[in-house]
């Protein structure tokens, strides 16, 4: 597949539609090969406004469908039968803004928990005062599976570890999973609301904390959306630096997962060495930005690092990682446990809108580094895919991406020379009108999407954040069908989706 030119996409096309015209407009875009990257609701003070952002690769384009919604008649036609991701976006919009998706096939709450007061929508402008919360009087409607020998296993929401809460309800016959339902959104941290009213530079520290293991991915998407809205151009050396930081983040996360997957089938000695290498990469990160998780380097319009990594250090890590991969895949028991476990077929991966290594392991050839590039990554970059869709394929894709990222990072270091980025961040100037910008960045889990709207004074009036986990979590129960319960930790790790990035 030919790489698109790493030039900014054309100015987004905005189409304002009546609710009666939305389904036809969205269906036409989906038929033409556009993907629904994001759905965002806005409270404009006199009415609500729903924005559907569609993106495509050939040609690169972004089309926003904008639908005004009155307060006293807050509904939209559901697109759930046209786009699986749209269905979840609609459910979240109803819970947070009170906009009802008419004719939704699964009209159950998604974000709202049973103790939230009825009629209280926390993202609306009139929700500044937090009301008294009710007792949990409305249990979540888990589907009860009936039949001979069926029993339930409940896992979570509190887990043994430092991960965020999430509940998994298994319906099981013997050891075989018949159905698994996941229930999340136990935190609802109100992250998007916290950005409102901030100047662009003041939102960077918050963007770095959207998901702790994806500092660069989310912060870069945030800044690129700000820059797109403000017309700020970023120099080529700074874009090269941004690409390098993105690959460094991918490296330490992938090597950690390669070890953890082996650990989940009892091969703990491999995990010990993988975590040793993760620590080495984190120490390299600290020499680059002063922070093990790469905080503090990204600014509006520029980048500033302390030093560039030593390519020989990266090469040494790569040699050790290749040995770990060879030992893992050469072990008959490990390979047997990986092979055929929890397959996600290509058709379902595409229909559910999965992203990142989960999608690529199921044969979906998509990667924002190629499809929506902000810099030419050079001859060493290519998209790694597999077709099995099982744990083995998800392992192989990570392993292949680690190798590619090492080569790309070393090439980027050579292209940068001694350049360490600028030190003066750009200022977002006031404007006579509100502006919007959207950015797509291939984080280590998959494509991250941020859409920002800036007020005339340059402050953020709305930021919508979509982590790839929002698209990928629903695919986990599908892959688990007919998998045995003891393999759940392994399968869950093979997906390794973010709780924090999902539950904003």
Copy the structure tokens of residue 127: 């929700």
**Structure confidence at residue 1 as a pLDDT band (50, 70, 90):** very low
Between the CA of residue 303 and those of 93, 389, 429, what are the distances in Å? 35, 37, 19
pTM of the model: 0.95
pLDDT of residue 2: 45
Q: Structural domains in the chain?
A: 13-125 (3.30.460.80), 191-495 (1.10.645.10)
**Structure confidence at residue 290 as a pLDDT band (50, 70, 90):** very high
pLDDT of residue 116: 83
Q: Which residue has the higher pLDDT, 10 or 174?
A: 174
The angle subtended at Cα 183 by Cα 179 and Cα 187, nearest 5°, is 165
pLDDT of residue 142: 83
* Lowest mean pLDDT across 28-37, 109-118, 309-318, 399-408: 109-118
- Dmax (CA) for the chain in angstroms is 69
Q: What is the DSSP string of 45-82?
A: SSSEEEEEEEEETTTTEEEEEEEEE-GGG-EEE--TTT
pLDDT of residue 429: 65
**Structure confidence at residue 235 as a pLDDT band (50, 70, 90):** very high
Q: What is the DSSP letter of 3?
A: P
Residues 6+ apart with CB under 8 A from 225: 437, 438, 439, 450, 451, 452, 463
pLDDT at 5 over 70: no
Copy the structure tokens of residue 217: 């991915």
CB 463 within 8 A of CB 451: yes
* Lowest mean pLDDT across 55-59, 284-288, 302-306, 426-430: 426-430
pLDDT at 163 over 90: no
pLDDT at 131 over 90: no
Spatial separation of the C-alpha atoms in residues 465 and 467, rounded to whole Å = 7
Spatial separation of the C-alpha atoms in residues 370 and 338, rounded to whole Å = 29
Q: pLDDT for 198-222, tens place per residue? A: 999 999 999 999 999 999 999 999 9
3-state secondary structure of 43: strand
**Structure confidence at residue 23 as a pLDDT band (50, 70, 90):** very high
Spatial separation of the C-alpha atoms in residues 120 and 107, rounded to whole Å = 18
What average pLDDT does the segment 468-480 reach?
A: 96
pLDDT of residue 128: 78
Residues found in the chain = 504
Spatial separation of the C-alpha atoms in residues 351 and 363, rounded to whole Å = 13
| Nearest by Cα to 358 from 324, 396, 408, 318 | 396
Q: pLDDT for 175-194, tens place per residue? A: 999 999 998 888 888 899 99
3-state secondary structure of 92: helix
**Structure confidence at residue 241 as a pLDDT band (50, 70, 90):** very high
Q: Which residue has the higher pLDDT, 188 or 440?
A: 440
Q: pLDDT for 48-90, tens place per residue? A: 999 999 999 888 899 999 999 999 999 999 999 999 999 999 9
**Structure confidence at residue 98 as a pLDDT band (50, 70, 90):** very high
CA 319 to chain centre: 29
pLDDT of residue 10: 53
Spatial separation of the C-alpha atoms in residues 408 and 244, rounded to whole Å = 8
User: Which burial class, exposed, middle or buried, applies to 3 when counting CB atoms under 10 A from its CB (0-12, 13-18, 19+)?
Assistant: middle
Spatial separation of the C-alpha atoms in residues 450 and 467, rounded to whole Å = 9
Spatial separation of the C-alpha atoms in residues 399 and 401, rounded to whole Å = 5
Task: Name 100's bridge partners.
Answer: 75
Q: pLDDT for 343-378, tens place per residue? A: 999 999 999 999 999 999 999 999 999 999 999 999
Q: pLDDT for 399-437, tens place per residue? A: 999 999 999 999 999 999 877 777 677 767 666 567 999
What average pLDDT does the segment 303-332 reach?
A: 97
Mean confidence (pLDDT) of the chain: 93
Please count the other Cβ atoms lying within 10 Å of the Cβ belonging to residue 493. 16
Q: What is the DSSP letter of 304?
A: B
pLDDT of residue 319: 98
Copy the structure tokens of residue 462: 């709305």
Copy the structure tokens of residue 490: 């392994």
pLDDT at 24 over 80: yes
CB 421 within 8 A of CB 297: yes
Spatial separation of the C-alpha atoms in residues 245 and 251, rounded to whole Å = 10
């Amino acid at each position: 597949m030919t790489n698109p030119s790493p030039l900014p996409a054309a100015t987004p096309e905005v189409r304002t539609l009546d609710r009666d015209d939305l389904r036809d407009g969205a269906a036409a875009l989906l038929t033409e090969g556009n993907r629904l990257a994001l759905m965002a609701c806005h409270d404009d003070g006199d009415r609500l406004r729903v924005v559907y952002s569609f993106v495509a690769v050939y040609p690169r384009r972004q089309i926003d469908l904008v639908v005004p919604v009155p307060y006293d008649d807050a509904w939209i036609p559901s697109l759930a039968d046209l786009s699986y991701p749209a269905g979840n976006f609609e459910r979240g919009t109803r819970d947070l803004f009170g906009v009802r998706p008419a004719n939704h096939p699964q009209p159950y709450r998604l974000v709202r928990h049973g103790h939230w007061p009825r009629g209280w929508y926390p993202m609306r402008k009139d929700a500044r005062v937090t009301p008294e919360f009710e007792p949990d009087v409305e249990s979540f409607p888990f589907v009860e599976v009936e039949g001979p020998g069926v029993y339930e296993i409940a896992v979570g929401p509190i887990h043994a570890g430092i991960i965020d809460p999430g509940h998994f309800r298994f319906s099981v016959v013997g050891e075989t999973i018949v159905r698994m339902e996941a229930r999340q959104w136990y935190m609802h941290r109100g992250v998007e609301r916290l950005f409102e009213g901030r100047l662009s530079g003041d939102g960077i520290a918050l963007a770095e904390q959207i998901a702790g293991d994806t500092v660069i991915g989310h912060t870069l998407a945030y800044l690129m959306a700000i820059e797109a809205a403000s017309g700020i151009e970023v120099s080529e050396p700074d874009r090269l630096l941004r690409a390098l930081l993105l690959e460094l983040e991918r490296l330490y996360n992938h090597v950690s997962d390669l070890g953890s997957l082996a650990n989940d089938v009892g091969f703990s000695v491999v995990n010990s060495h993988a975590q040793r290498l993760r620590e080495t990469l984190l120490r390299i990160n600290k020499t680059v930005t002063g922070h093990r998780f790469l905080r503090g380097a990204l600014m509006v319009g520029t980048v500033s690092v302390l030093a560039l990594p030593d390519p020989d250090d990266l090469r040494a890590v790569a040699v050790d990682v290749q040995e770990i991969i060879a030992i893992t895949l050469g072990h008959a028991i490990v390979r047997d446990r990986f092979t055929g476990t929890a397959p996600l077929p290509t058709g379902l991966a595409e229909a559910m809108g999965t992203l990142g290594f989960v999608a690529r392991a199921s044969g979906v050839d998509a990667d924002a580094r190629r499809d929506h590039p902000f810099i030419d990554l050079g001859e060493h970059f290519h998209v790694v895919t597999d077709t099995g869709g099982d744990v083995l394929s998800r392992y192989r894709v990570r392993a292949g991406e680690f190798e590619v990222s090492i080569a790309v990072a070393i090439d980027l270091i050579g292209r940068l020379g001694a350049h360490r980025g600028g030190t003066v961040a750009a200022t977002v100037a006031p404007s006579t009108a509100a502006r919007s910008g959207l950015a797509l960045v291939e984080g280590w889990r998959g494509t991250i999407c941020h859409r920002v709207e800036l007020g005339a004074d340059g402050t953020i009036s709305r930021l919508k954040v979509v982590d790839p986990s929002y698209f990928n979590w629903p695919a986990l129960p599908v892959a688990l069908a007919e998998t045995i319960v003891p393999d759940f930790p392994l399968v869950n790790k093979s997906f390794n989706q973010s709780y924090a990035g999902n539950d904003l």
